[in-house]
Structure 1
């Protein structure tokens, strides 16, 4: 394992591109493009919302300006520092219980909407053993009875992804001081941007947006994100310039919560929703604050528009449930 692992994230097992972040616009529109293209292990499940289906792999966005004004995140603005501190206090007080190596992380997610497939809706579920050596899913072949398929996973020494156990240990070992965590993330962002020939961002604002997205990825690890790590992440998010918090929002499934958001220099707003009262991570969405052009998507009569209008939700996903179970196929 090396420092590049910070850009790994677990997501629901759907066919989608690696998160290579080849351009700032694509970073905001297609969260699946937010990671370098390395060999990915089968146990990659993830909870970091903002994924996209395979068809979105070729989508690239550039700002064109104009369009209708974007909708507000919510109706009641509140202090980001106050809300995120409350979230840190609430989550940090929970007991730190590391799951057993042979227990399983169960995840069911809901995903809706994409720039070139606005009616897209999908429910996904998966099981991954905590040590990352087995994964399971139901074979839903039409006309046949659903069958649980358990797959052995061979460790990949070249992989820069993490198993649930490795994520847990990594996030538990994050620096306790928010400033120290942000300093580490800034260094990683600058190094990775250099590796990508400075195509990810060109300003400090762009770097802040990159760091915001990485920290949200960390929050999205579900049972693999220990309480202490979550608390530090919440406090670090509060120190990033431009972060806003608004209450009275809903996630992709209509559940009430508080939205934490930041708009990048490319005109794409990234936000995640925390459950009211518990501050549990509910989901993530991307909203075009400025009109966005879908590169390589010429206008086709009867087909999707080559332009995403301002205010359009480009992609959103909700974590329906994620928990630890004792065997594959078990549901809470």
Structure 2
């Protein structure tokens, strides 16, 4: 997962149809020019178990399986989201409290990215200091590169530091309905920063709530157990949330694909993938539901069944860049 897509995932917005590649590549170019290293802070490890994935599937299967596209090798089955999320909340509530990271500690992530129509998988390793003032990554030569984050105090930047996200998260109530109301009304997620040349998007409240909850659930190892459980229970209250079993990440791991039901003509479906036993965030998958064409082109930019996926392989709080936990 590169710096550009990390930023896009941290914003509580969904790209307009046909922009899945245009906007990310423009962001990537601008980011490289500015020398900014953005780091995706993913994903929350939930310890404990509530039965096996197979047992859960037997109690929550819907009658008919979903048909995968021709380029997709996965075979997914729809689950009862209310049952799955209730189980996730129970597992989360049993987790031990983790210490709050110090401002001078670093968050390390190792991720995979597999583009559609390609067999090549890209591996990225990043570090970001918890106060957001520095970032580090491995260069093409394998050497560790450490530097300041581009203009970290920019008031128009919605890429908050890990410490700022943590502060917002810990200010949330543990009552699911109150939690949902607070994040839905939070002006930070409604307004956010706008990329130059890209029109502002009026994101529906339920979609914005889904995106924000998924962002917070990605706070790997730092969320209080009661709050994490409330996140899953609040997610169950969001209209349109669906869960499919058997969705694979870029590492080939099969998990629970959580997604939001949107317009019927949407060209893609975006899954956030959870481990079926621990509910750890495994990665993301975008599945093309039909051929998609760029403006003025007669050749599809992505065909029905094409898959773009990512995977989180490691996430840890460490004392210095270069450490991997």
TM-score, normalization by structure 2: 0.71
Distance in 1 (alpha carbons) for counterparts of 2:231 and 2:74? 21
Question: Match of 1:273?
Answer: 273
Which residue in the other structure is 1:60 paired with?
A: none
Q: Distance in 2 between matches of 1:283 and 1:165?
A: 22
Deviation at 1:31, TM superposition (A): 8.7
| 2:229 matches 1:236 | no
Residues 1:162 and 1:291: Cα distance change in structure 2 (over 3 Å):
same
Q: 1:310 aligns with which of 301, 304, 311?
A: 304
Counterpart for residue 8 of structure 1: none
CA distance 1:306–1:75, shift in 2 (3 Å): closer
C-alpha spacing 1:100/1:260, structure 2 compared with 1 (3 Å): same
CA-CA distance at 1:107 after TM superposition: 0.3
Unaligned runs of 5+ in 1: 1-10, 50-67, 300-304
Moved more, 241-250 or 219-228: 219-228
Alignment match, 2:146: 150
Distance in 2 of aligned mates of 1:311 and 1:211: 28
- Mark the runs of 5 or more structure 2 residues left unpaired by the alignment: 44-66
1:235 match: secondary structure: helix
RMSD across aligned positions (CA): 3.7
1:111 paired residue number: 113
* Corresponding residue SS for 1:24: coil
Contact 1:17 1:32 survives alignment (8 Å)? no
Matched residue, 2:252: 254
Tell me the distance in 1 between the aligned counterparts of 2:127 and 2:200: 37
Match of 1:331 in 2: 324
1:161 paired residue number: 159
The 5-angstrom pairing of residues 36-55 of structure 1 reads 42=36, 44-47=38-41
**Cα offset for 1:283?**
0.5
Aligned-partner SS, 1:234:
helix
Q: Deviations over 1:256-292 (max 9, x none)?
A: 3222122321242121111132111000111122433
Residue from 89, 96, 99 that aligns with 1:97: 99
Is the contact made by 1:284 and 1:318 (CA closer than 8 Å) also made in structure 2?
Answer: yes
Contact 1:12–1:126 (CA<8 Å) still a contact in 2? no
SS in 1 for 2:113: strand
Shift of 1:78: 2.5
Output the CA distance in 1 between the equivalents of 2:271 and 2:109. Answer: 21
Residue of structure 1 equivalent to 2:52: none
Is the contact between residue 137 and residue 150 of structure 1 (CA under 8 Å) also seen in structure 2? yes
Is the deviation greater in 174-183 or in 161-170?
174-183
